[in-house]
Structures are given as C-alpha cells and as structure tokens.
Amino acid sequence: MNNPRYWASQWYATKFAEEPWPGGWYWHDHQYNWHGPFKAERDAAVALRAHQAQEREASDEHERTRPHFGLYYHPRSPYSQKVLVAIYEKGLQFTPHIVNMMAEGEREQFRKIYPVGRIPLIVLNHGPLIPESSIIIEYLDGLGGAPLISDNPDVARKTRFKDRFIDFYLTEPIATLFFESRKPDAERDERKIEEARFHVKAVYDFLEYELSGSTWANGDAFSLSDCSAAAAFCYAGDYMPYDGYPAVSAYAERLAQRPSIQRVREEVAARSDNIARPSS
C-alpha cells in the first residue's frame, strides 16, 4: 500500500468490537471522515478524486464536509465545559455521550473505549480518538470558524500558556476546594486547601494585571485561554470571591454573558446527578 491515505481494513483495528469494519479499502478526508469500504484501491482512488473535486467546487464554507464526531463528556466536568464552549463557539455538530465518572459501571464501560478513562474525549468517524481538552480544541480550531488560536506565533504561545496556567493553577485548585468542601470538617485536608487557595490567588494576581485594558485573556479576540477560564470561573467565585480584583470580576461577568458559555451553564444547571471529577 503506497498511499498513506488508504487503509486496508485488516490493517486498521477499530476500538469498537461491536462495529467491525468490512474487508476492503478505506480513505479519509482532511477532517478524518472515513469512506469505504471499496473492493479495490483503484475504486477508492476514483472516489477520493471525486470527493476532492466536489470540495473544490464548494464556494460556501458551510457546504464543505464537516467531520462527524462523538463527544464523551459530562456537563459538570470543567474540562468538558471547556470543550463544549469551543464547540458552541464554532457551531459544530456532535453526538453526545454523557459519562458519569462517579458511577463505576459507566466509568468501566468508558474505559473499554479509552483505557485511560479520562473525559472529555472525541471519537472521530470509525474510531480515531482525540483526548485532552486543549488538544481537542486545537483539532476543533482547524475546522473553520472564528479562530481560537492566533496565527501569530507569539500570540499563540501566550494563548497556550494561559490555557495551561488556568488549567493547572485555577481549575485544579478550585476542584480541590470543591471536593474538600464536601467532606466533614474533621476529614478535610487543610494543607491541600491552603495550597489550592495560594494557587488561585496567584492566578487572580496574574489575570488582574493581564486583563487591564483587555476584553479577553489575549486582547479583543475570544480564544482557547477563555475557553479554559470559562470553565474555571463557573465555580471560582463561589470558593474564592473576587474581592480586590476588579478586572478579574469584570472578566468573570463578561464570560458569564457570552452566549456559548451561557449555553454550557444551562446544561450544567440541568444536570442533577453526581459531578464528574475533572479529567483533562
């Protein structure tokens, strides 16, 4: 097989045992929509060329093929919220698969798909997996629409830094404060609580300076960094108020007014089952 765009099905094992691929040749477009099976490589090549011709003829971006993907997530998982915000900003369609990671049966069933067992996870047509919230959004950003990561290398670097900074030092500590608050007083880990509060304050201090004169985390354009912040700020003010941080407080309010974020928070409010632990 000389062309890497073609896959003989016996060489490509799907993760889903209940969906075996019939024997034959397959190809995928640049957005990982898979097509097949074809009896011969020549048949696959003819179909691929026809597909490429149709894409070239499409003058409207909305007429172009969009990938079909399934999203394994939980609306109350902050990293799932982060991805949902990006999806709604892009106006993408997906098949939802809600996984309650606090329920042993659902957790074990999900691990049959992704052994690491962390949400969110995108499953592309016919099997390829994309885990980790930031990597998922990097993929989504290539599907068109308003960019969430700038073409400017310096701005892109700052965007990725703030995304990681918020995830590590705001989302994770807020999750710690949440779960510790649910424990009886005698069982709470004061060391963890103190460390979490230290990190949250560090993020507030950083953002108070960075947000001075800016609408969003990286200026006037909503970005990957703001997707991360949207999830974190869904809970942050409940555990560490924004007292003394006017820029952070105003930013949190702008996030709350963003239509994509409002939609995610409506989904959060609609869920009454256990909160899924933050994953990635």
Q: What number of other Cβ atoms are within 10 A of residue 148's Cβ? A: 22
Sign of CA dihedral 107, 110, 114, 118: negative
| Model confidence at 180: pLDDT above 80 | yes
153-270 maps to which CATH number? 1.20.1050.10
Say what the pLDDT of residue 168 is: 97
pLDDT tier for residue 31 given thresholds of 50, 70 and 90: low
Give the residue-averaged pLDDT of 69-74. 93
| Model confidence at 23: pLDDT above 70 | yes
Say what the pLDDT of residue 53 is: 79
pLDDT digits (tens, 9 = 90+) for 184-235: 999 999 999 999 999 999 999 999 999 988 999 999 999 999 999 998 998 8
> Greatest CA span in the chain, whole angstroms?
70
% of the chain exceeding 90 in pLDDT: 61
pLDDT digits (tens, 9 = 90+) for 86-143: 999 999 989 999 999 889 999 999 998 889 999 999 988 756 789 999 999 999 998 8
Say what the pLDDT of residue 64 is: 46
Could you tell me where the DSSP H helices lie in the chain? 41-57, 78-90, 104-111, 133-141, 153-166, 172-181, 190-210, 224-232, 236-239, 246-257, 259-270
CATH number, domain 69-141, options 3.40.30.10, 3.40.228.10, 3.40.50.880, 3.30.565.10: 3.40.30.10
Query: pTM to 2 decimals?
Result: 0.76
Angle separating helix axes 190-210 and 153-166, nearest 10 degrees: 150
Sequence spans of domains, the chain:
6-63, 69-141, 153-270
